[in-house]
Amino acid sequence: MALVGGCSLAGEISDAGRIDASPVRVYGVVDRVVQVRGGSDIRVSYQVDGQRFATEDLPLGHGARLTDPAVGTAVCLEAAAEHPETVRLCSQKYPGGDNMIPTEGLVVLAGAAGGLMAAGWIVAVARQERRERERSLRDSL
């Protein structure tokens, strides 16, 4: 879980950096809305410098202004000039929404702390078993 959260967080930060380095404001159109558990899967088609793109996983984030979109709805997007396939809704700081970064950061931190605790426990048990074996060997001599 922590690894997935960490990879997701790293990807969002990387995407945000690409967009923030050279944002291009474009308008896309919602061309598919599929209701899924917990919300909607939205595909938005857009053009950057004459090239057509579509995003299958447009991250709406928390507090997004795009609520209950319908096919044909115009959507303001910011794309990275060097990587126009990387987009987010206008006014979002991160691709997954401003509120996602702290949440995922906490998940990653908790996962890392749990991993370190587990590793420490494994090392402590291994050392204890080694001491027991050494003590047993000394006693048998």
Each residue of 92-108: pLDDT tens digit? 776 554 445 555 666 67
The pLDDT score that the predictor gives to residue 47 is: 93
Token digits for 119? 């590793």
The pLDDT score that the predictor gives to residue 65 is: 56
Low-confidence ranges of the chain (pLDDT < 70): 1-9, 57, 59-68, 94-107
Q: Count Cα neighbours of 32 within 13 Å in the Cβ-side half-sphere.
A: 10
The pLDDT score that the predictor gives to residue 55 is: 86
The pLDDT score that the predictor gives to residue 26 is: 93
Map residue 47 onto helix, strand or coil.
strand
| Confidence (pTM) | 0.56
The pLDDT score that the predictor gives to residue 109 is: 75
The pLDDT score that the predictor gives to residue 125 is: 93
Main-chain dihedrals φ then ψ at residue 131, nearest 5 degrees: -60, -40
CB 71 within 8 A of CB 33: yes
